[in-house]
Amino acid sequence: MATTITATLETTATRTADADQPLLKVDGLSVTFFTPTGAVHAVRDASFEIKRGEVVGLVGESGCGKSTMAYAIMGYLPGEPEVGGAVYLDGQNMAELGPAELRALRGNRIAMVYQHPALALNPTMKIGPQIEEVIKVHLDLNAVQVTERAMELIESVGLPDPERIAQSYAHQLSGGQQQRIVIAMALACDPDLLLMDEPTTGLDVTTEATILDLVADLKGRVNAGILYVSHNLGVVARVADRVVVMYAGQTVEEAPVRDLFKDPRHPYTVGLLSCVPKPVADEGAVTRLQSIRGSVFPSTQADPGMCLFADRCPMATDRCTGEAPAPVSLGGAHETRCFYPGEVSPDLWDECIEREAPRENGKEPTLTVKGLHRVYGQWQRKYLFFGPKVKPPVRAVESVDFNVGAGHTVGIVGESGSGKSTVARSIVGLVPRDSGDLELRGEDLPAETDERNAGQKASIRMVFQNPTSSLNPKLPVRHNILRPLQKFTDMSAKEREERACELLESVGLDASYMDRQPLQLSGGQQQRVALAAAFAGDPDLIVADEPVSALDVSVQAQVLNLLEDHQRENGTSYVFISHDLGVVRYVSDEIVVLYAGHVAESGPAEDVLSTPSHPYTEALLSAAPIPDPDAIPTPIRLSGSVPKQHEQFKGCFFASRCPRKLGDVCDNTPPPMQSSPGSPTHEIHCHIPLEKLARLQDNSVITPA
Amino acid sequence: MNPLGAAVSAAAVLLRGLASLVRLALRTPAGRIGLPLVVLHMVLALFGETLAPYPPTEFHIEDHQLEGPSLQFPFGTDQFGRDVLSRVMSGATSLITVAGAGALLGIVLGTVVGMSSGYKGGRTDEVVMRIMDALMSFPSLLIALLVLTSLGPNPINIAGTIGVVFIAPVARVMRSSTLAVKSLEFVDAARLRGEPNVYIIFREILPNTLPVLAVEASVRFSYSILLVASLGFLGLGVQPPSSDWGLMISESRIFITGAPWVALAPAGAVASLVIGVNLLADGIKQARELPKREA
């Protein structure tokens, strides 16, 4: 396939350039934007190279200038920024090119893949013509050749039935398919350089895995350099040959992928690595997660002539605050921007503190969920009251059961569309359930918040995904904490004020934050205020819906550790919802794996994550990116997406995507519930007998060498 | 929280909003032109009659009928020899009060209807918005004529009619911005605290829709001015001999070729007020799109 692609293309003189010369050389690049409120130093000093056939990963927290860098390489920066340094493509300084030459370059020799495929595709054009458009602009081919090439491209990104895809509109494709099309468009002219800006961030983990496979595959097929921008270390470990770490607009460390993960030589890199929960496959949930204190050096400040990381660095000295470090080469293409690369060690960010032993198993469950069921919408007719039925109801949750023990954390995992948010919102009463029972300490809970009494409202609190929108931006922090106290306790105004300060301190913020506006706080601080507000009524149960997925990895740990400490002190139970298996495993005592509104598997965390497990759990585990370049990718991949329409499943809910499907029995008979003999609370809904499942899975797991 | 308490806190929020709006308006050229124009008219509305060089109804019949602009009469005189400048200055009061009261009534009612309907959602929202659609399908001038010819042209009726007519467009705008804010999680958080709907709408959502409300309010105010002036022109505004811009234009059309200043002065007054209000609104809107200074 790849050979035909390259064969149809003309080769220009520059394309056969010397192999030793870097394809792309970024040399001391800086980008400063001038806004009405002052200069923004998006990129300060970035240097790195990309060779042909190489994937370079660019990582860093949000606000580190990763995306600006990608746009600067394209010569496609908004406004009129001041650009310092230079970008060379095959030795050609990009700054010397005129607008017309740049236009000819973009899409042809440099192509970009964006984060949101749905926004990168034109919704009013069919896929085929959209791809053909790119080819027509840059290549001199006749109509028949153009169509042929478009078909080749669609096929080359692993999409079956290219004719059908070419006739579809973007909205008819799933997110993964859309991203494949965007990649196909980027490959249309066989580019020399491919820039991928967080291409899998908006996708489900199972889809992400298939896209990463595609990128890894492309690396071998096309003779292009790839810059892969991501905030996710696991993803970068999976695809990159070399990694560049950015901090506050500077490249702080650059190394071959194995060196960077095994022997990091910049405190920031070490910090990032120790912020991520350990891979699910090892026994690593025993130490507490670390976080990097403070926040990224503000891009609005001019270069202070010091190490920009010094404020957050545990090993900063007077030299770090008095002098700006230059990149030092450590040999073997390993560079770091630190004065003391020899002193950087993995336990730099405090000793690994052991987590305390698991808590006593609560006898009486705090919350019991039985047969929870919820469907959104109802059948609608095409012409109000007449015509064929269109727009079916959407399945959210169908028969979900689980218990949350006192002082326990139940983690709920699943892809988008699996119904996990609906479960959360049904428990707190924001989405009334259609049927099923909820019991709070054996007492029946009404379906809607408004029907619940004050005690019940105070007992169940919720923490939302996006802290920026869960705090009212027009009201001060004070409001968010005092109001629940006013509602749920009978304290006097003075007592409330004192308690609010206590609560703020318990989440690591001092009383001066009371009068701040939420928008003045960083994402991590906002989420901590949200936690303080949730703790306000001394709740028995906190439902946390993806509480850390909107946060940078460097502050995720703060929130997770706060939740854990609160639980140990107050015996609060949690329902913790996340799509990230690593995070769920870190926090959970029990795990419920949801798929299409059904429980696929549930039980104690360790049992769920070890064999035998439901084929869906197995696929999730297999797809989770591991921040270890030596991890051998496991072969199980799911195609398609979670079925959404509300049809009663005749057989197994997972039958349409199951990699271990037995045959007709899966299509026609609902799966039985099996529990393993060793752990009676571990339940798997599958037709395959557990012993066979365990055997199959043990054989397919490839243990790292 | 009772509805009265909610109203009081809503008023406090509105006042605080006003101060920040002035600051916001001064950040753009449009706002810097619009704000002084609006302020000038406000001063006229409050003190126009006092500041005017002559009493607006004083006749100079003997020697100054339909005289052109001069030092003595900067905007000339009308058919009875009355000073046009004085009449324009003193005419501001009735027009701005009536237009302002009408617009304010429409904004308050429209905000309440629109926000409640949008927050409630579902079938209630559907029914309320269809009623608003029906209301909007009548030309506002026609409704005003109908009401004023049957109830009589007095300022309260004019303001009331304008208020009712403006409910629909204001409700529409406020409903849509409420829908956008409603989907944010802090509204869910308030519901989970067990806050009553009135509290959520006016304390949690309203502050977030204020910028939209401010722009809508200024648009409504300028429409209201045009409507009152039109009614005056048709003879349904303030009755003679008190001065009214619409009425002045209407009376002067007989001799518009011979003495255009009699029509131009009130017309210019209406135009400058409407332009001022619109520029102010534009300025606020633009300033909102500029990045925040403290961010």
Domain ranges of chain B: 3-289
What stretch of H or E contains B282?
A: helix B261-289
User: What CA–CA distance (Å, rounded) separates A247 from A296?
Assistant: 8
**Burial of residue A331 (number of CB atoms within 10 Å: 0-12, 13-18, 19+):** exposed
B12 contact A CB<8A: no
In this prediction, residue B266 carries a pLDDT of 87
pLDDT at A360: 58
Q: B27 to chain A nearest CA, in Å?
A: 11
Name B130's Cβ contacts closer than 8 Å, sequence gap at least 6. Answer: none
Digit-coded pLDDT (tens) for A42-59: 899 899 999 988 999 999
Instruction: Name the residue of chain B whose CA is nearest to A486's CA.
Output: B193
Q: Give me the percent of chain B exceeding a pLDDT of 90.
A: 30
| A496 touching B (Cβ < 8 Å) | no
Q: Judge whether A472 is closer than 8 Å to chain B, CB to CB.
A: yes
Tell me whether residues A37 and B293 touch, CB distance under 8 A.
yes
Interface test mutation site (partner B, options A474, A516, A522, max chain B beta carbons within 10 A): A474
* B208: nearest CB among A450, A462, A473: A473
Res A704 pLDDT > 50: no
* Predicted pLDDT of residue B61: 65
Whether residue B189 lies within 8 A of chain A, CB to CB, comes out as yes
Q: Mean of the pLDDT values across residues B111-131?
A: 92
Is A37 in Cβ contact with B291 (below 8 Å)? Answer: yes
Cβ-defined contact of B192 to A430 (cutoff 8 Å): yes
Q: What is the mean pLDDT of residues A316-335?
A: 87
Q: Do A466 and B189 touch (CB under 8 A)?
A: no
Q: What pLDDT was estimated at residue A361?
A: 55
The answer to whether A1 contacts chain B (CB < 8 Å) is no
> What local confidence, expressed as pLDDT, does residue A542 receive?
93
CATH for B3-289 is 1.10.3720.10
Q: So what's the pLDDT on residue B31?
A: 87
B292–A contact, CB cutoff 8 A: yes
Percent pLDDT > 90 in chain A is 20
Give the full edge-to-edge strand order of the sheet including A435-440: A394-405, A365-376, A435-440, A443-444
pLDDT number for residue A427: 92
Contact residues, chain A, for B295 at CB < 8 Å? 37, 519
Give the confidence band of B294 by pLDDT, cuts at 50, 70, 90.
Answer: very low
The CB density around residue A284, as the number of other CB atoms within 10 Å, is 14
Report the range of poorest mean pLDDT among A82-91, A337-346, B114-123.
A337-346
pLDDT of A281 over the 80 cut: no
Q: What is the mean pLDDT of chain A?
A: 84
CB atoms within 10 A of CB A291: 22
Among A207-221, A592-606, B84-98, B161-175, top mean pLDDT goes to B161-175
Please tell me the distance in Å from B162's CA to the nearest CA on chain A: 31
Nearest CB to A36; choose among B191, B207, B291? B291
- Give domain limits for chain A: 22-109+230-355
- Interface test mutation site (partner B, options A469, A531, A549, max chain B beta carbons within 10 A): A469
pLDDT band at A196 (very low <50, low <70, confident <90, very high): very high
Mean pLDDT of chain B: 85
Query: Is there a contact between A221 and A639 (Cβ–Cβ < 8 Å)?
Result: no
Average pLDDT on A177-189 reads 90
Bridge partners for A440 per DSSP: A367, A443
**Structure confidence at residue A211 as a pLDDT band (50, 70, 90):** confident
Is A488 an 8 Å CB contact of chain B?
yes
**Chain A interface includes B123 (CB < 8 A):** no
Comparing B287 with A3, which gets the higher pLDDT?
B287
- HEC states along A81-111? CEEEEEEEECCEEHHHCCHHHHHHHECCCEE
- Residue A227 DSSP SS3: strand
Could you say which of A457, A472, A520 has the minimum Cβ distance to residue B194?
A: A457
Please indicate if any CB of chain A lies within 8 Å of the CB of B204: yes
Mutate to test the interface with A, among B193, B197, B203, B289 (most CBs of A within 10 A): B193
The verdict on B293 touching A (C-beta cutoff 8 Å) is yes
Q: Stretch A231-238: mean pLDDT, rounded?
A: 88
Contact list in A for residue B184 (CB cut-off 8 A) is: 469-470
Whether A469 sits inside 8 A of B186 (CB atoms) is yes
Q: Give the pLDDT confidence score for residue B109 in this predicted structure.
A: 95
CA angle A198, A199, A205 (to 5 degrees): 100
Looking at chain B, how many residues does it have? 295
Is the per-residue pLDDT at A411 higher than 90? yes
Q: How many CB pairs under 8 A join A and B?
A: 63
Burial (CB count within 10 angstroms: exposed 0-12, middle 13-18, buried 19+), residue A201:
middle
Q: Which of A34, A378, A469, A472 has the highest number of chain B CBs within 10 A, making it the mutation to test binding with B?
A: A472
| Residue of higher predicted confidence among A548 and A281 | A548
A484 vs B: CB within 8 A: yes
By Cβ distance, the residue of A475, A483, A533 closest to B207 is A475
* Residue B27 CB neighbour total at 10 angstroms: 17
State the Cα angle at A193 between A180 and A86, rounded to 5°: 140
Amino acid at A96: E
% of chain B at pLDDT higher than 70 = 94
Q: Identify the pLDDT of residue A7.
A: 40
* CA max distance for chain A: 81
Give me the mean pLDDT over the A520-536 stretch. Answer: 89
Q: How far apart are CA B5 and CA B207, in angstroms?
A: 16
**CB A636: neighbour CB atoms within 10 A?**
19
Q: CB contact, 8 Å: A536 with chain B?
A: no
Residue A548, classed as helix, strand or coil, is coil
pLDDT the model gives residue A353: 62
Q: Is the CB of B185 less than 8 angstroms away from the CB of A470? A: yes
Which among B186, B292, B294 is the nearest to A472, CB-wise?
B186
Query: Which residue reads 């009676």 in tokens?
Result: A680
Q: Which of A264-278, A289-303, A532-546, A547-561 has the highest mean pLDDT?
A: A532-546
The CATH number for A22-109+230-355, chosen from 3.40.309.10, 1.10.4190.10, 3.40.50.300, 3.10.450.50, is 3.40.50.300
Cβ of residue A428 closer than 8 Å to a chain B Cβ: yes
- B293 chain-A contacts, CB cut-off 8 A: 37
Chain A, nearest residue to B203 by Cα: A475
- Choose, out of B9, B119, B188, the residue to mutate when testing the contact with A (most A CBs < 10 Å): B188
A479-488, A549-558, B77-86: lowest mean pLDDT where? B77-86
Three-state secondary structure of B101-142: HHHHHHHHHHHHHHHHHHHHCHHHHHHHHHHHHHHHCCCHHH
Poorest-pLDDT segment among A67-76, A226-235, A271-280, A563-572: A271-280
pLDDT of residue A189: 85
**Interface contact flag, B194 A520, Cβ < 8 Å:** no
pLDDT digits (tens, 9 = 90+) for A557-568: 888 888 988 888
For residue A365, the surrounding DSSP H or E stretch is: strand A365-376
Report how far residue A592's alpha carbon sits from residue A414's, in angstroms, rounded to the nearest whole number.
9
**How far apart, in whole angstroms, are the C-alpha atoms of residue A200 and residue A116?**
9
Is residue A571 over pLDDT 90? Answer: no
Q: What percent of chain A has pLDDT over 70?
A: 92
Cross-chain Cβ contact B186/A466 below 8 Å: no
pLDDT tens, position by position, A658-699: 888 888 888 888 888 888 777 888 899 999 888 888 888 877
User: Cβ contact (<8 Å) for B207 and A474?
Assistant: yes
Q: What is the ipTM of this complex?
A: 0.80
The pLDDT assigned to A79 comes to 80
Residue A275 has pLDDT above 60, yes or no: yes
Is residue B245 within 8 Å of residue B91, measured between CB atoms? yes
| Residue at A679: amino acid letter | S
What is the pLDDT at residue B165?
92
Question: Which of B252, B227, B249, B267 minimizes the C-alpha distance to B96?
Answer: B227
Which helix H or strand E contains B270, and what residues bound it? Answer: helix B261-289
Q: Does B1 touch chain A (CB under 8 A)?
A: no
- In this predicted structure, the answer to whether residue A330 has a pLDDT above a threshold of 60 is yes
**Cβ contacts of A520 on chain B, cutoff 8 Å:** 294
* Residue of chain B minimizing CA distance to A482: B193
Is the Cβ of A37 closer than 8 Å to some Cβ of chain B? Answer: yes
Q: Which residues of B touch A483 (CB under 8 A)?
A: 190, 193, 195
Q: pLDDT-derived band of residue A17, with 50, 70 and 90 as boundaries?
A: very low
Cross-chain residue pair B188–A469, CB shorter than 8 Å: no
> Are B184 and A35 within 8 A, CB to CB?
no
Give the nearest chain B residue to A466 (CA atoms).
Answer: B185
How far lies A459's CA from each of A56, A456, A591, B283, in Å?
A: 49, 5, 22, 48
- A83-A67-A36 Cα angle (round to 5): 55
pLDDT band at A448 (very low <50, low <70, confident <90, very high): confident
DSSP A144-203: HHHHHHHHHHHHHTT-S-HHHHHTSBGGGS-HHHHHHHHHHHHHTT--SEEEEESTTTTS
Q: Is the pLDDT of residue B17 over 80?
A: no
Q: Give yes or no for a contact between A616 and A659, defined as CB atoms under 8 angstroms apart.
A: no
- Inform me whether the C-beta atom of residue A680 falls under 8 Å from chain B C-beta atoms: no
- Give backbone dihedrals phi and psi of A391, rounded to 5 degrees, phi first: 50, 80
Judged by CB atoms closer than 8 Å, whether chains meet at B295 and A37 is answered as yes
Contact between B185 and A36 using a beta-carbon 8 Å cutoff: no
Q: For residue B83, what is the DSSP state?
A: B
Provide the β-strand partners of residue A577: A412, A545
Q: Kindly state the DSSP code that residue A279 receives in the 8-state scheme.
A: P
Q: Note whether B193 contacts A: Cβ–Cβ < 8 A.
A: yes
pLDDT band at residue A702 using 50, 70 and 90 as cut-offs: very low
* Closest residue to B208, CB basis, from A462, A474, A533: A474
